[in-house]
Amino acid sequence: MYVANEDSISSSDDVKLKTRFQGQVLVLYAKIPLRMETFLSSLREACKQAYNQPITVKWIDEEGDPCTISSQRELDEAIRLLHANGEAELNVHVFLGIPPLPGLPCHGEDKAVYRRGARRWKKFYHVNGHRFQAKRLNRRVQCFFCNDYIWGLGRQGYRCADCRLCVHKKCHRAVRQPCGDQQNLVDHYAGNTSKKDSKWTVSLNDFNLLTVIGRGSYAKVIQAEHKKTGAIYAIKIIKKQMFSDDEDIDWVQTEKSVFETASNHPFLVGLHSCFQTDSRLFFVIEFVPGGDLMFHMQRQRKLPEDHAKFYSAEIIIALHFLHSRGIIYRDLKLDNVLIDAEGHIKLTDYGMCKENIGPGDVTSTFCGTPNYIAPEILRGEDYGFSVDWWALGVLMYEMMAGRSPFDVVGMVGDVEQNTEDYLFQIILEKQIRIPRSLSVKAAAILKGFLNKDPSERLGCNLNIDEALEEMKNHAFFRTSIDWELLEGRQVTPPYNPSVSSDRDLQHFDTTFTDEAPNLTPDDP
């Protein structure tokens, strides 16, 4: 058995077992077919019980009722129902001993233990005898598996409760070192000391901070010059104190990971380096001098169809690349589409990305910018890459119509206007009206992307390569885009931002650029 990814849906060849025992949650993963003997021995091992210790195992069915698993037939039926109901995990409770009489509760069993949220459970992930827990590490520690530093905020790493071995969350399943081999553990960390640091460490002292170019709810972005090379970068700065110790902030590690994945892609902002101080995190990323599509749209009001076609085609290439790497973007909007010095686009801001999504896998987190959130998210459904294609439809509508498809006047039921609830009701219920000024082909592709049913939406074929071909062959693109030249940045952009130098800030809002780039204790 091995550990499951926390919130992804497992394949049909294995089953995730979320096992509760004496105040702990033990996350295991088992291959199917699963024999009763293997099932019980794995549970005993995880619960640290002797091989001959009698235990009672109960699983929770779709109605929330506990059902005993005492035979191979009952185990097979539990797994069959799990898959039939589309559930992600088998919730199991383990009790020591057996009931005094059939039908009576076990020792320590009462109805309260089956209520979700009724008590706090300590969660452990079992791999090769290790019992990993998510931990906030108060000092710099190298990951035992990949040797990179465990980097970020909050509970950014996993530490074994027994041998104290530390790994990234993303690396813990790959650990082959058995728990308890302390000498090997000491040798490993002793062999990875300051040599790597002394040669490659980047710090704030390597940069001249020039001016603020952006600010969000949790970070600000500063244009900076590398002192040694003179190269211009953007530095995204996040203040650690904005997050509580208990808050889930996996997005920080995810953003770093996606920045690394995106490096060298023609239509994605990549990472130069990253570092941290006691109070802040720093992402040194590409500086893109042409501003963003939001700033461009504020000047133009709306774009000609051929401009929107060019930008959306490059966005399709960028999104397909992320999807092919198992990443849902989840934050496509005008503000996150940058224009480079030549007029090509680059997507940025990967804080909402979801990694490790395979073919057919789904997730369920409610997130996104309200105006771009897909109907399936609002309905509380599991979703995959479909949400990015819905957001592209919204963005294309904004480019060609000069307004959001959800700028609707009037009341919907008893919901007040100008609230998120009102907006969400519009997204879910109102028919989207395409402006008559748009061409038939433009109207058709907007209807394709803005289909409220993700199973029928353009781009949502489960085979993402086939989905890409369907989009490329849509009438809106078919006769006017040479996709091979486009991917090679060989198509001349319809708009050139006419940037005079890599320090030119004419395409950035003066609200930001007039601000001094000082890092004071109160800066977010």
Which pLDDT tens digit goes with each residue over 479-511? 999 999 999 999 999 999 998 888 889 998 888
Confidence of residue 451 (pLDDT cuts 50, 70, 90): very high
User: What does the pLDDT read at residue 155?
Assistant: 53
Residue span(s) of the chain under CATH 3.10.20.90 come to: 14-127
Residue 224 has pLDDT above 90, yes or no: yes
Residue 311 has pLDDT above 60, yes or no: yes
Residue 197 has pLDDT above 50, yes or no: no
Question: Distance between CA atoms of 201 and 221, rounded to whole angstroms?
Answer: 21
User: What does the pLDDT read at residue 125?
Assistant: 80
Residue span(s) of the chain under CATH 3.30.200.20 come to: 204-288+501-513
- Looking at residue 437, its amino acid is S
Q: What is the CATH number of domain 204-288+501-513?
A: 3.30.200.20
The pLDDT tens digits for 12-51 are 567 888 898 887 888 887 888 899 988 998 898 888 888 7
User: What does the pLDDT read at residue 196?
Assistant: 38
The pLDDT tens digits for 93-150 are 999 988 877 777 887 776 655 654 444 456 778 777 788 888 766 555 778 877 777 7
| CA nearest to 139, candidates 283, 284, 276, 282 | 276
Tell me the C-alpha to C-alpha distance, in Å, between residue 178 and each of 19, 134, 137, 191.
22, 19, 22, 19
Mean pLDDT of the chain: 83
- Contacts (Cβ under 8 Å, ≥6 apart) of 55: 40, 43, 44, 47, 49, 94, 95, 96, 97
Supply φ then ψ for residue 252, to 5 degrees: -65, -50
Instruction: For tokens 């496509």, name the residue.
Output: 332
- The verdict on whether 246 is a catalytic residue reads no
Residue 329 has pLDDT above 70, yes or no: yes
Question: Distance between CA atoms of 377 and 36, rounded to whole angstroms?
Answer: 38
Q: Which of 250, 331, 349, 361 is catalytic?
A: 331
Residue 183 has pLDDT above 50, yes or no: no
Q: Is 239 labeled as ligand-binding?
A: no
Pairing assessment for the beta strands 14-21 and 24-31 based on DSSP bridges:
antiparallel
Fold of 293-487: Transferase(Phosphotransferase); domain 1 (1.10.510)
Tell me the C-alpha to C-alpha distance, in Å, between residue 317 and each of 265, 407, 459.
10, 29, 12
Question: Distance between CA atoms of 23 and 11, rounded to whole angstroms?
Answer: 28
Residue 449 has pLDDT above 70, yes or no: yes
Kind plus residue range of the DSSP H or E element containing 29 = strand 24-31
The pLDDT tens digits for 269-279 are 999 999 888 88
Kindly report the CATH class assigned to 14-127.
Answer: alpha beta
Question: Distance between CA atoms of 345 and 195, rounded to whole angstroms?
Answer: 39
Tokens standing for residue 423: 């907006």
Q: Coil, helix or strand for 235?
A: strand
The pLDDT tens digits for 351-375 are 899 998 988 899 998 999 999 999 9
| CA nearest to 483, candidates 475, 492, 493, 472 | 472
For the chain, the C-alpha Rg in angstroms (whole number) is 26
Residues in the chain: 524
User: Using omega within 30 degrees of 0 as the cis cutoff, is the peptide bond preceding 497 cis?
Assistant: no
User: What does the pLDDT read at residue 418?
Assistant: 61
Confidence of residue 324 (pLDDT cuts 50, 70, 90): very high
pTM of the model: 0.64
Segment 188-213 mean pLDDT: 67
Tell me the C-alpha to C-alpha distance, in Å, between residue 308 and each of 103, 398, 442.
67, 9, 10
Structure letter (DSSP) for residue 485:
H
- Contacts (Cβ under 8 Å, ≥6 apart) of 21: 46, 47, 93, 94
The pLDDT tens digits for 374-433 are 999 999 999 999 999 999 999 999 999 999 999 855 544 555 556 888 899 999 999 999
Residue 83 has pLDDT above 90, yes or no: no
Residue span(s) of the chain under CATH 1.10.510.10 come to: 293-487
User: What does the pLDDT read at residue 190?
Assistant: 39
Q: What is the 3-state secondary structure (H, E, C) of 126-172?
A: EECCEEEEEECCCCCCECCCCCCECCCCCCCEEEECCCCCEEEHHHH
Question: Distance between CA atoms of 234 and 221, rounded to whole angstroms?
Answer: 6
